[in-house]
Amino acid sequence: MNQEIKQCIQILENGGLILYPTDTVWGIGCDATNETAVKKVYTLKQREDSKALICLVANDAMLERHVEKVPEVAYDILDLATKPTTIIYDNPLGLAQNTIAQDNTMAIRVASDKFCQYLINKFKRPIISTSANITGDPTPRSFNEIKDHILKGVDYIVNLQHDKKNGPPSSIIKLSNDSTVKIIRE
């Protein structure tokens, strides 16, 4: 695993794209602070850049560095969640502008997968996590269902867990600073 993390960090630091197993599905990732790298993700997925992406952080401390104010209820939601949960926060900080939605929000998930946690900790920056498919196509249920266009479009494919079936996609909750909670995806 250490060799895979080293390889990923080298690619991420150079603005490249990785294909990696997450706590939910196989994801396309890049440095969430690098606008040029994020643009490559939109291009590969054939996705409009007006549709915001999810980014992963390694822990609560990293989350707090990239959100102006994490509402207290967010910690309760994350502690009580029974599956990976992505929360959309107001006023993200230090992320590429093209990752941020037009309403100045960002979808962020604290990674629960050990590989993702180690990778993000070593990289010291959030990474993008978006499903490994062209926008509009079904999300691949396993590595073997990822189409050639995606496989050839990334700079590095993590050589771990190729036999793993995807878990369910994360829940998505929009949590405003005024404590308004809206469930986007259960």
What beta strand segments (E) does 77-122 contain?
85-90, 105-110
Q: What's the average model confidence in pLDDT over 97-117?
A: 93
Q: Residue 177 is part of a domain; what is its CATH number?
A: 3.90.870.10
- Domain total in the chain: 1
User: Contact, 106 vs 55, CB < 8 A?
Assistant: yes
Range of the domain at 25: 2-185
Q: What is the pLDDT averaged over residues 19-25?
A: 90
Other beta carbons within 10 angstroms of residue 73's beta carbon come to 13
CA-based radius of gyration for the chain: 15
Of 82, 62, 44, give the one whose Cα is nearest residue 167: 82
Rounded distance between C-alpha atoms, residue 106 and residue 143, angstroms:
27
* Residues 24-48: tens digit of each pLDDT: 889 999 999 999 999 999 999 998 8
Confidence of residue 115 (pLDDT cuts 50, 70, 90): very high
Q: What does the pLDDT look like over 64-103, one tens digit per residue?
A: 999 999 998 999 999 988 889 999 999 999 999 999 999 9
